[in-house]
Chains A and B, each alone.
Chain A
Amino acid sequence: MKTGFVGMFLGALVIGAWSGEAQMPVQSGGTSQGTPQPGGGAALPSSFDASGSAAKPQQNDPTRRGETPPPTLLGMEIPLMDPASDTASYNGGLFDVGNNAAVRARFEKYLQQIPDDSAESKRYRKIIDEILKLTQRGGHDSHYSIGSETLIRVGKALYQANEFPGDGGQSGVLASAMVSALDVQRANLSKAAQNAAIDAEIDKLVRKMDHANTKNAWAARNFEKHKIKFTNDMKDSQHAIAEGTASVAEKKTEKGVNTTAIAAALFEAKVNYQFVLLTIFTQRRFDHVVIGTRVYRHLFKDGDTKLQVKEDSQFGKIFSQGTGMSPTINALDSAASNARREVDQNIQAVHSALACNRLGEATQQLIAAVAIGEYMQSVATFPTEARRRIAQYWTLRKRAYTALNARDYATVEEIASKMKELDTDFDDSLLLSYTTGKKRQSDLAIRNAMKALQAGDEEKFNKFIEEAGTIWPRNPNLDKGADMLNKIDAGDPLKEEFRNLYKLGEFRRIAADRERFKIVNMDPELAKQYEEVITLVMKIDGLLEQLKTVAQQDTTLGPCMAYEKLIEWQKEDNRYTQDKEMMIALKDYESLAHDFVQALRDAEGCEKRGEYGSALSCYYRAQCKYPGSNIAKEGIRRVSDIIVNATYP
């Protein structure tokens, strides 16, 4: 029997046992009929519905749209279960679990259990091992027969094992099945003895009828000579023959009934025994299955080992799918033996992986071992410390999946980091790529929302904020969006306040509270004013900073230049004269460049009074104080023209 076939068979039984009923495999030989899941890993949710739950891959299969399939969850460390598609993998096959929560709960319960290393458990294991030795082929007691001492020892040992609580009563069930089979065999022997007696009686009757026939023939030959004398004898003979014939027929009928009863009882006994074996198999008591199949050949020596299951039944399909032949007791024996061997190999692999701190691989192997051979000795006695380490890793993995489902990507990354610490081989690249991508998508949506807000498009703002929240509900930047939404609600009084301040030219106050006033951007007209205010204030601040630098670099000419620039800018834009900071700066530079400023003011005063000679002199003085002065230069040019073009007496 091929391993894949055994695995497929066992997988179906395991899942059936854990979920309450046997499930049919949906796939075998690694060919998926459902969601493509390399390695049986769970798919990361590629999208979410409005309720926040991950869209099922079956309903949203990206490969059908020509897209790249999403990466698998946490790499290969979840070999058995695929929570996204409710499938379990074993030996390359995927099986429909239906109730993966039960599987997880079972495994977690196992991890929390204390290893069964008690003396009682050891005694139980010893008894089972002794039974297995007794039933081994080629042993010194191999030539036993029904009712032999060996079978009696096996039966007694099974009843002893039945007393152990961990046995779950399976030994008793098997022993009872054996006793029942033996009882049937005994009953059949009794019926066989009855048939032998019937045969003897028939023989006697036949002999008696032969005698009567002979007597009758003799009487017939002498009838014509002694007609009257022999008539009665003939009659007696004929009567005896008739009676004998009827008796023989009667006996034969009785024998036939017995034979039929024997066959029926034998068939019924086989069916009952096979049913017990299959039941034990589904309970994954593989030691008992092996014992039962070995005993079977000695309970039923007719050589018929065919399992009495319908080919279209679940068991029939499982066994016939692999070979195309009718299922037999030998197939059951082989499957159970393979399972025992594979579970032991899995446990060895767990120990090796733990020694190298490869917790992901250890978890994978232990899940497979527990799923298949939960009652095997190697699984039941798995050490506490190793269970604790795997439980720690398993809990992290579970939390990662929960966080992933909740789209809490920051937590996922945190957990992945811890898993990396525990498992040196843990490959978190796929996971981190996925979470990073999602976080960026969410941040991008928030940025778009902010842009929409600045553009005054409330509808788009809401749409993008919703998108950002859907992608990453716990995105810390969402708080900004929430703040903005609150401000939208409280926006009207703020707009009024903004209008008043703008009207009064209190740009500085608006700029100082720019975050609070940002909401007015929802109104296109106010948005323009807001931008104007912020731009102007920023420009003024920039200019003042530049002037400050220049004035500090040259304390003689710098203040003159700064003063003149401020005057020039105020002439260019009247809004500058309303800016408090600019006016303060103007006063400061006026003080620092006093002579220059005074000369200009004197010049202007003289010009107004018609004292052009004096005005020109003042402008020249200002030019001496600050040779680069445009105001002085312009004044000189203007006054010179007036003087030159005037007429003098």
Chain B
Amino acid sequence: MATRRSKKKGGRGRRGANSNMLTLVIIAGAVLVLAALLGSGVLKGRGGARESEPVASFRIADYRRDGSRFASAGNTYVFDGRVENIETIGNSRIVSISIQDNPDERLPLLVPGDVRLRANLTRGDHFIFETTCTTGKAQDGSQVKGVLIVRNAQSK
């Protein structure tokens, strides 16, 4: 289970006092609902993902089918997984992790050489990975779609 954290900001116009009041009430209600949900732990997920806002869950099966759909700008995906394999190519690494309760699946993550992680990745250990799904450009100019790039990782 993964979660997406959005960095987008809310609305901008002002149309009057009534509307401001209504907005405040809605915001307050929303905050209350969110606080209640966080308190109950519903959005935490078993995969160990954390997020600031709830979105549709990240299913590896969906990712295998069409990874680029997860590459919306600004989305961050947090995975709680076990390192199954680390493939070092140049300065970068391809880390394949298994998600809890889904041992037959492997999620490949790119750890670029210029990314400094808080934890030292070791095979067989569990980590929390903060990733973004990105489309890059290959040397021949073609697109390299739906690559999960690790932005940060910490031991669990």
Question: Which residues of A approach B to under 8 Å, CB–CB?
Answer: 602, 606, 609-614, 616-618, 620-621, 623-625, 636, 640-649
Cβ-defined contact, A613 with B106, below 8 A: no
Nearest CB of chain A from residue B2's CB, rounded to whole Å: 13
The answer to whether the Cβ of B92 comes within 8 Å of any Cβ in the partner chain is: yes
Q: Tell whether B153 is near chain A: CB-to-CB under 8 Å.
A: no
Give chain B's interface residues, CB within 8 Å of chain A.
Answer: 60, 63-68, 87, 89-90, 92, 94, 96, 103-108, 110, 112, 133-139, 142-149
Question: Are A612 and B134 in contact (CB-based, < 8 A)?
Answer: no
Cα distance, A606 to B66, chains bound together (Å) = 8
When C-beta atoms are compared, the residue in chain A nearest to B70 turns out to be A613
The answer to whether B67 and A617 have CB atoms under 8 Å apart is: yes
The answer to whether A614 touches B64 (Cβ under 8 A) is yes
Instruction: Find the residue from A623, A625, A643 having the highest chain B CB count within 10 A.
Output: A643
**Is A648 a contact of B138 with CB atoms below 8 Å?**
no
| A625 and B104 within 8 A (CB) | yes
Scoring B107, B143, B144 by chain A CB atoms within 10 A of each residue's CB, the highest score goes to: B144
Q: Is the CB of A621 within 8 A of B136?
A: no
Say yes or no: B87 contacts A613, CB within 8 Å.
no
Choose from B103, B106, B139 the contact partner of A646 (Cβ within 8 Å). B139
A614 with B63: CB separation less than 8 A: yes
A83 to chain B, nearest CB (A): 91
A614 to B60, CA, bound (A): 9
CB distance from A346 to the nearest CB of B (A): 102
Question: Is the CB–CB distance between A617 and B112 below 8 Å?
Answer: no
State in angstroms the CA–CA spacing of A644 and B92 once bound together: 6
Among B63, B104, B143, contact of A610 (Cβ-Cβ < 8 Å)? B143
- Give the Cβ gap from B133 to chain A, nearest Cβ, in Å: 7
Contact status B145-A613, CB under 8 Å: yes
A343–B66 CA distance with the chains assembled, in angstroms: 117
Within the assembled complex, what's the spacing in Å between the Cα atoms of A421 and B78? 99
26 contacts between A and B (CB under 8 A): A610-B145, A611-B66, A611-B67, A612-B145, A612-B147, A613-B67, A613-B108, A613-B148, A614-B63, A614-B65, A614-B67, A614-B145, A616-B94, A617-B60, A617-B63, A620-B106, A620-B107, A621-B106, A624-B104, A624-B106, A625-B104, A640-B94, A643-B108, A646-B144, A648-B147, A649-B134
What's the Cα separation between A142 and B144 when bound, in Å? 147
Known contacts A612-B146, A624-B105; 17 additional CB pairs below 8 A are A602-B65, A609-B145, A610-B142, A612-B144, A612-B147, A613-B67, A613-B145, A614-B66, A625-B104, A636-B87, A640-B87, A640-B108, A643-B94, A644-B110, A646-B136, A646-B138, A649-B136
Name the distance in Å between A560's Cβ and chain B's nearest Cβ: 13
For A640, the chain B residues whose CB sits under 8 A away are 87, 89, 94, 108
Contact A602 B138 (CB under 8 A): no
Q: Which residue of A lies closest to B92 (CB)?
A: A644
- Expressed in whole angstroms, the Cα–Cα distance for A616 and B105 within the complex equals 11
B106 x A617 contact (CB < 8 A)? yes
Q: Find chain B residues with CB under 8 A from A647 CB.
A: 136-137
